């Protein structure tokens, strides 16, 4: 739970950038950089933000915006706003059982929460103690039958939507992690130990709590033979992450998953069309937040073409770079039906656990409502690309 110190810290956070700074002060450098940075030269990471910043919105005046409503439906279920908390496997290193903190914040805010394959809180515990609209994210392993068993387990636990992330066929080149001596699974080495000692609050409230309860965290949702502790070498499951995948694997997932199925990591129109033709319920236009291929274009740049091609066949979502409520409005205006945010709520949980995540969601919601009023759109369905300035 969030203590008085974290609440006091949150009192001085007025936007996501403030939460980022608060998280940076509290977290070890290795953990924070894993959350905050992208791949290689950070080009894709920076481009996601610069494209959003350079996209401008037009005021519409003398319109009744006395009652702006952000509520919508995502895959037939109500949501307080068109936002989903993205899968982030490092949440449990930002806060003790950080996935549970995020899930509780999402449930209270009325938005979906996505649990990552690499999380270290059991999916059953998330379902029992957080509730809400729960999604599960899958990385396909080379031993595909193990992945299918994981998917079936998520369905039994009560998760309603499956996101299959498909855009990392090889391990990304994140050089900052090598410099910091940081890895997932987490390893204790000279650099990480010194880093932890410089952040005594994190050491006591995160790593210390794990050691006093269940021991050092492990990938608890992995098959038993792959549940190495974070102090061990990289798990075989990660090393054998599938790089021999095809569209027929999507068909197999469609057969065994009873709920909504979403493919995450789409950046091409032909891939979007292929996914739609195979009956997916949704796609996520995503460059993995700039954490995968550093030469990728921004998601906002490719979103309109993809939405125009398949928006009437499947639900188009988008992620990568969301930091303001106005960013959400821009994405919706350019064809998305919803956005996923990862870092914004991670900054919140890193700064203050559930309370910090709730603060991040409240900030985005307030900013979005304000922007909707400025562009003269009191309802989500009122948004279209005519609010985008084409100068």
Q: Known catalytic residues? A: 288
167 membership: H or E segment, kind and range: none
Q: How many CA atoms lie within 13 A of 257 on its CB side?
A: 29
Cβ contacts of 381 within 8 Å, gap of 6 or more: none
Instruction: Find the DSSP H helices in the chain.
Output: 4-10, 16-26, 29-36, 43-54, 91-94, 98-109, 123-129, 144-157, 175-180, 190-197, 200-202, 208-212, 236-239, 247-256, 269-277, 299-310, 325-333, 343-374
Nearest to 51 by CA among 318, 308, 304, 321: 321
Cβ contacts of 194 within 8 Å, gap of 6 or more: none
CA distance 310 to 274: 10
Would you state the structure tokens that stand for residue 112, as one six-digit string? 């979906």
Q: How many residues does the chain have?
A: 391
CA distance 90 to 384: 35
Distances from the Cα of 75 to the Cαs of 78, 116, 153, 283, in angstroms? 8, 20, 21, 12
Q: Quickly tell me which residue has 């992995």 as its tokens.
A: 222
**Bridge partner residues of 318 (DSSP):** 285, 339
For the chain, how big is the Rg over CA atoms in Å?
A: 20
């Amino acid at each position: 739970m969030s203590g008085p110190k974290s609440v006091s810290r949150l009192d001085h956070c007025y936007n996501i950038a403030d939460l980022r700074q608060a998280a940076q002060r509290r977290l070890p450098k290795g953990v924070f950089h894993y959350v905050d940075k992208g791949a290689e030269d950070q080009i894709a990471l920076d481009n996601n933000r610069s494209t959003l910043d350079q996209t401008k919105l037009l005021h519409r005046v003398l319109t009744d915006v006395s009652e702006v409503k952000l509520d919508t439906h995502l895959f037939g279920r109500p949501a307080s706003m068109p936002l989903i908390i993205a899968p982030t496997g490092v949440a449990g290193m930002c806060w003790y059982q950080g996935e549970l903190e995020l899930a509780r914040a999402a449930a209270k805010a009325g938005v979906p929460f996505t649990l990552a394959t690499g999380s270290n809180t059991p999916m059953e515990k998330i379902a029992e103690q957080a509730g809400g609209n729960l999604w599960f994210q899958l990385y396909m392993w080379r031993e595909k039958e193990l992945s299918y068993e994981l998917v079936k387990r998520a369905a039994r636990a009560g998760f309603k939507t499956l996101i299959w992330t498909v855009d990392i066929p090889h391990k990304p080149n994140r050089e900052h992690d090598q410099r910091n001596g940081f890895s997932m699974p987490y390893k204790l080495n000279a650099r990480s130990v010194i880093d932890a000692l410089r952040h005594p609050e994190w050491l006591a409230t995160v790593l210390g709590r794990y050691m006093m309860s269940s021991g050092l965290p492990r990938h608890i949702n992995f098959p038993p033979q792959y549940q190495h502790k974070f102090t061990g070498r990289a798990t075989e499951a990660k090393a054998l992450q599938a790089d021999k995948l095809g569209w027929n694997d999507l068909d197999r997932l469609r057969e065994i998953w009873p709920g909504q199925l979403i493919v995450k990591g789409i950046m091409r129109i032909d891939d979007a069309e292929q996914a739609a033709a195979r009956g997916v319920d949704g796609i996520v236009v995503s460059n993995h937040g700039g954490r995968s291929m550093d030469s990728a274009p921004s998601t906002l740049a490719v979103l309109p073409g993809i939405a125009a091609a398949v928006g009437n066949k499947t639900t188009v979502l988008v992620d990568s770079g969301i930091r303001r409520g106005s960013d959400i409005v821009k994405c919706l205006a350019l064809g998305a039906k919803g956005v996923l945010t990862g870092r914004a709520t991670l900054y919140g949980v890193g700064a203050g656990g559930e309370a910090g995540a709730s603060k991040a969601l409240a900030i985005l919601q307030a900013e979005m409502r304000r922007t909707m009023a400025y562009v003269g759109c009191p309802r989500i369905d009122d948004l279209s690309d005519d609010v985008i300035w084409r100068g």
